[in-house]
Structure 1
């Protein structure tokens, strides 16, 4: 369907809503009638030519064969489709025989709906069409709507026909149906001040995806092909893929059968998709409704090809309970294991943040790749994503681990960057990921990045956010660049760029760089007083002590109501747990004990300043023991933390001193992959010739991380980039994580040098002639 026909059809359908439904529905609710009626008329028009044959078959089953239940096979054969209608009505007949009685028309219409086969009845239920029919009949507009949809001037069938004047009415394909659906949804939501929420895939993008998926193996297609879309929408990507394979005029002609599978969460789009599967002769039972992430509808099944445009930037928090139980992933589709820095296989997080689940759809497809022992071609995947799939998530996080899982298994063949404003309801940059578990020899261990962001032609008129499109020559250029695995430099403004990388080029080590803790310590009244209050409850506890004095320690329950009221008045918004803690006698007793014991120690140490925390701690431990103070290990730690602080000129705080010799030293050197002279670079400092090494406490506030390319050596990087600047730093390899990210800007950005100051000054002075001398005065040139 061309754009003119598309616009004409959309305008006609919109006029139906405006002419018949005004004042009966708010504009945002027009869709509740228009969308199901389009689908219904589409099915009805197809069944009209075989209506008599279906009724004859029905009469035969009832009168001659004596069937008490209908033989669906016979009725389907009579209708010529996988659906049928056994009522005597058609929409045209309903309109032609209608009287002024809306009640009679409603009854006949419901009888007509009840005559459909079960698969169509499900579509009717998803659209809630029966309630809309009753509502329209009550408001006396049912006949008006029926007259519009049975007009001979519109064609909602997948076949070309003529209007009463002999003008051709083009066929409405599944993709054309998708375009109409998308445009109507956009108009309905704009009228209702809602965001569209759909990201319908333009025809040329689907064309590009099908070429990329099928062209490389066009001479080796499986005899039976299965195609799956886990977010199938109205089914356009599935049916266009089928058309691409089966079209005799195309470059590819499948010799065997093609089976389509899909799942869609939106009832309306599911109903449209299922109706088109029935029209095309595909098995509608292979299209399922519901959340792909919540339920593995096709568990145990694998597919030859998968194409999808999953939702991005959409929260999946409501589906988390089906995927995770606490921190444990319970859905095998999203369970992966990865090797840590030391090469040990571990379960890994493969769950992205709850605000964006698009990578989970990719994992769903990866989980359904066909093993090579089952197929000579394996599985090929094309999936549309926004930029966040490329780089969001830190090393060790869900998004990064998913990228790592895919790249380290050598499934990622290429990523194509698309132009902005190519889609109808989003202007952001989008990317097509191409995956295969059967790479050709020249692609093994490689990933191709193709920047086609400047390859487009402008539309004469915007369609929503869409203001550009791919021309056929653009698709050919992208496909050739991909197929030939070309490397290309962008030469013109509207040109393509491409580069090929090793898998490891996208990976990096996130290395943690530690520095020693240096503490000074001193008992002062101010520092001791801080022990009187819990860190989280400092404000209300300080108010209580200053208001009620020492009596708060013995009579907290007496002041509970007043204290909680003060918290409410000052909008502290304490949790119920903290409210309980605040008014608990044990809380106050604990902090009084800390203050009392700290003061007892202060009486001994006075205000002496220590620059060596190790000596200070040793002396405090001895005094605690000597005075037999009532201090637990956590109490003593709280006091030491309260009276100490970081200072760059203090001595390093020792964590432990351990003897390293013989097997223990050999194992450590092997573990760190270094020589004994390099142990300080990993936090082990030699103290004497007896083989004793000191390990220092780390200062978390000075902790830093370095992203080291996988192809680099962490130790070499550390010696080159860190050690010269921070001599006392070391690498903590035990917490090193491996991450993966892909940045198109990094690889395709072309720096444009700034103009020199002389040229800029000359341009400014040239403008001076059009001013009153102010510029020269500002530049201090006069």
Structure 2
């Protein structure tokens, strides 16, 4: 594959000069698509011409062409061209080469509109004007991209490899288009794992959807794997893609496979769901990592505000990271559970932040809570670092299901496969590791619970209750205790205050008040109030409050301040500076892991963990929030003891000796 990709890309030598590196892809990608289509059509051109001349309607042509071209390995062609041209024939008339190719591409059936997305007519005329068209056409005419030479899966690899090169040369984020095949195969195996037997049944029909479809790589692998399990299975592939070039490639690829091209649609998934009225058996996705959603903020927030009817009703992540929006979208596209108990499944690639970002009550926490409380999270698999082409960060596969088997209901499996990658002989961008077939089988066995307990190559797996990731955040208050003194430091703070400093006579009144220390706020206010009244300095209630707040300093020996008015009169007043929060896990101290156990669980936690250390603290029961966090790394942390002190001392002595030796050489 790398040799074929290099050969296809070598046409860049022809383009060098009239084209910049950033423009190579705009020529190479559409010509690769055209040559692939031509090689697929070649054995059927006579049949195609006969059907085109015999039937005027698009639907009639499509039906008869599929029937006439169907084989054991193919469901038949559903596209054609009314043109007699091929790349070879067009080259025979070099003076009219551009017009011949425009005629060729323009003759394709209406369902093959992908060359509009490439603006291919303009590409051809520009090549012709720059005197490079004939050389490029000859190059591609000499490449065998027939299905016998290049399978559909290999063709998908080729497309994505070319896109990777194109994005790399243009200094773009290549990885947003290109999901490594080893990652895709693992994701597909995980999604199919518990459905394997059902997928072998006769008459199996499954729908597979990718909301960030790219060139269709995930759909291709999922489709081929399903047919490995059951050659007679029927699949319907669906995808949505924002990028016009990758959309065009995906649509052409599905046409070649005999899929309905209308099932691939262009558009931003976060703005509009092009399949709003559909749900699917399987949803697969590798959304872009760390991209913001500022450009679609208005639309996303509008859908969030619609409540239960919107995909994003459960919560919104920070505007800087759209990953959890795609997670919510994928979860919303699972088919409903039917009478047989079969529902939908999701496999999605995410970075680490959706596991833990955002505290209790935040959008990300609410999204996690939405998924966990509805028992949709089946498993999360940690991948090795350095698995992707444009990033070396930690990545995770989330597997969702709305129809878990009985033994997995109410639970989540965390699987740590981070140490099961195999080093590549040569890095590709940031990708230094791959998941081999052997690695993949180990992870699947861990997921299925069929690992050999005696094996040293076990993948670590831990099973948790959904509510093991839930907690309450409660506010702990401590009483306000203040000391008051009208000394130069506090008077200076009043003078510099933006409001108090403008009150006529206040500074002078404070200077004449004396430096007596008060440990009771009410006594201080009464004494200072009388003093200010004698001097004719009048303050509003708000100004009086601001004054004691500026002068008062925390002092643990001072009397407690109490609320002076309202329903809470006489109660202890909290000190905002000493306010703290405590996270109390559901089930703490053996209590039930239920929302109803909130008060008793939190009270017992407070009595055991807080009260012994700060006896005057209390819980503000009005500020409780429920949060959800999946601390994956913490659950698989392995303690590594420090080296013995003797070993460290020996290293230090050796290094000091080396330094001293170097200094002696310098002095000499």
The TM-score normalised by the length of structure 2 is 0.87
Q: In 2, Cα distance between the equivalents of 1:120 and 1:137?
A: 24
* 8 Å contact from structure 1 (residues 487, 500) kept in 2: no
Is 1:14 the equivalent of 2:9? yes
Is 1:696 the equivalent of 2:604? no
Is 1:205 the equivalent of 2:200? no
Is 1:315 the equivalent of 2:292? yes
Q: In 2, Cα distance between the equivalents of 1:225 and 1:430?
A: 28
Q: In 2, Cα distance between the equivalents of 1:658 and 1:643?
A: 25
Q: In 2, Cα distance between the equivalents of 1:118 and 1:534?
A: 74
Q: 1:422/1:637 Cα in 2 relative to 1: closer, same or farther (>3 Å)?
A: same
* 8 Å contact from structure 2 (residues 157, 217) kept in 1: no
SS at match of 1:219: helix
Aligned to 1:144: 135
Q: 1:192/1:257 Cα in 2 relative to 1: closer, same or farther (>3 Å)?
A: closer
Q: For each residue in 1:561-584, what CA deviation from the matched residue of structure 2 results, as whole angstroms up to 9, or x when unmatched? A: xxxxxxxxxxxxxxxxxxxxxxxx
* 8 Å contact from structure 1 (residues 487, 497) kept in 2: no
Q: For each residue in 1:532-553, what CA deviation from the matched residue of structure 2 results, as whole angstroms up to 9, or x when unmatched? A: 7775xxxxxxxxxxxxxxxxxx
Aligned to 1:596: 504
SS at match of 1:109: helix
Choose from 710, 734, 750 the match for 2:586.
710
Aligned to 2:65: 78
CA drift at 1:204? 2.4
Q: In 2, Cα distance between the equivalents of 1:707 and 1:258?
A: 47
CA drift at 1:393? 1.4
CA drift at 1:231? 1.0
Is 1:156 the equivalent of 2:134? no
Q: 1:406/1:754 Cα in 2 relative to 1: closer, same or farther (>3 Å)?
A: same
Aligned to 1:441: 406
Q: 1:428/1:622 Cα in 2 relative to 1: closer, same or farther (>3 Å)?
A: same
CA drift at 1:215? 2.7
Aligned to 2:53: 59
CA drift at 1:73? 2.8
Q: 1:326/1:87 Cα in 2 relative to 1: closer, same or farther (>3 Å)?
A: closer
- In the TM superposition, what are the counterparts of 1:762-777 in structure 2 within 5 Å? none
CA drift at 1:376? 2.3
Q: Which moved more, 1:326-335 or 1:454-463?
A: 326-335
SS at match of 2:104: helix
Choose from 86, 90, 99 the match for 1:90.
86
- In the TM superposition, what are the counterparts of 1:532-543 in structure 2 within 5 Å? none
Could you say what the CA RMSD is over the residues aligned between the two structures, in angstroms? 3.3
CA drift at 1:257? 2.7
Is 1:651 the equivalent of 2:552? no
Q: 1:195/1:441 Cα in 2 relative to 1: closer, same or farther (>3 Å)?
A: closer
Q: For each residue in 1:363-422, what CA deviation from the matched residue of structure 2 results, as whole angstroms up to 9, or x when unmatched? A: 101112222246621111111111112111112111122112111211111111111222
Q: Which moved more, 1:594-603 or 1:211-220?
A: 594-603
Aligned to 2:591: none
Q: In 1, Cα distance between the equivalents of 2:453 and 2:623?
A: 39
Is 1:116 the equivalent of 2:94? no
Q: In 1, Cα distance between the equivalents of 2:659 and 2:290?
A: 50
* 8 Å contact from structure 1 (residues 410, 445) kept in 2: yes
Q: In 1, Cα distance between the equivalents of 2:489 and 2:449?
A: 73
Is 1:216 the equivalent of 2:194? yes
Q: 1:634/1:156 Cα in 2 relative to 1: closer, same or farther (>3 Å)?
A: farther
* 8 Å contact from structure 2 (residues 65, 78) kept in 1: no
Q: In 2, Cα distance between the equivalents of 1:767 and 1:114?
A: 74
Structure 1 residue runs of 5 or longer lacking an equivalent are 1-5, 62-66, 161-169, 337-347, 536-589, 660-683, 685-692, 776-782
CA drift at 1:45? 2.1
Choose from 758, 762, 780 the match for 2:646.
758
SS at match of 2:334: coil
Choose from 191, 209, 212 the match for 1:231.
212
The TM-score normalised by the length of structure 1 is 0.75
Count of residues in Structure 1 that have an aligned counterpart in Structure 2? 639
Q: In 1, Cα distance between the equivalents of 2:660 and 2:350?
A: 54
* 8 Å contact from structure 1 (residues 76, 83) kept in 2: no
CA drift at 1:331? 8.4
Q: In 1, Cα distance between the equivalents of 2:612 and 2:37?
A: 75
Q: In 1, Cα distance between the equivalents of 2:656 and 2:536?
A: 86
Q: Which moved more, 1:616-625 or 1:288-297?
A: 616-625
CA drift at 1:715? 1.9
Q: In 2, Cα distance between the equivalents of 1:755 and 1:43?
A: 63
Q: In 2, Cα distance between the equivalents of 1:185 and 1:448?
A: 35
Q: For each residue in 1:731-777, what CA deviation from the matched residue of structure 2 results, as whole angstroms up to 9, or x when unmatched? A: 223212222222232111211222322344456678999897999xx
Q: In 2, Cα distance between the equivalents of 1:527 and 1:763?
A: 55
Whichever of the two has the greater Rg, that structure is 1
SS at match of 2:111: helix
SS at match of 1:655: coil
Is 1:496 the equivalent of 2:459? yes
Choose from 475, 481, 490 the match for 1:512.
475
Aligned to 1:42: 36
Choose from 174, 178, 193 the match for 1:196.
174
Aligned to 2:72: none
Q: In 2, Cα distance between the equivalents of 1:727 and 1:373?
A: 56
Q: In 2, Cα distance between the equivalents of 1:633 and 1:172?
A: 82
Q: 1:740/1:74 Cα in 2 relative to 1: closer, same or farther (>3 Å)?
A: same
Q: In 1, Cα distance between the equivalents of 2:450 and 2:650?
A: 47
Q: In 1, Cα distance between the equivalents of 2:452 and 2:268?
A: 40
- In the TM superposition, what are the counterparts of 1:675-690 in structure 2 within 5 Å? none
SS at match of 2:174: coil
Is 1:481 the equivalent of 2:481? no
Q: In 2, Cα distance between the equivalents of 1:331 and 1:292?
A: 19
Aligned to 1:725: 613
Choose from 298, 302, 316 the match for 2:275.
298
Q: In 2, Cα distance between the equivalents of 1:534 and 1:108?
A: 81
SS at match of 2:144: coil
Is 1:738 the equivalent of 2:646? no
Q: For each residue in 1:36-74, what CA deviation from the matched residue of structure 2 results, as whole angstroms up to 9, or x when unmatched? A: 11112111222233333333334345xxxxx6xx43432
Q: In 2, Cα distance between the equivalents of 1:73 and 1:634?
A: 83
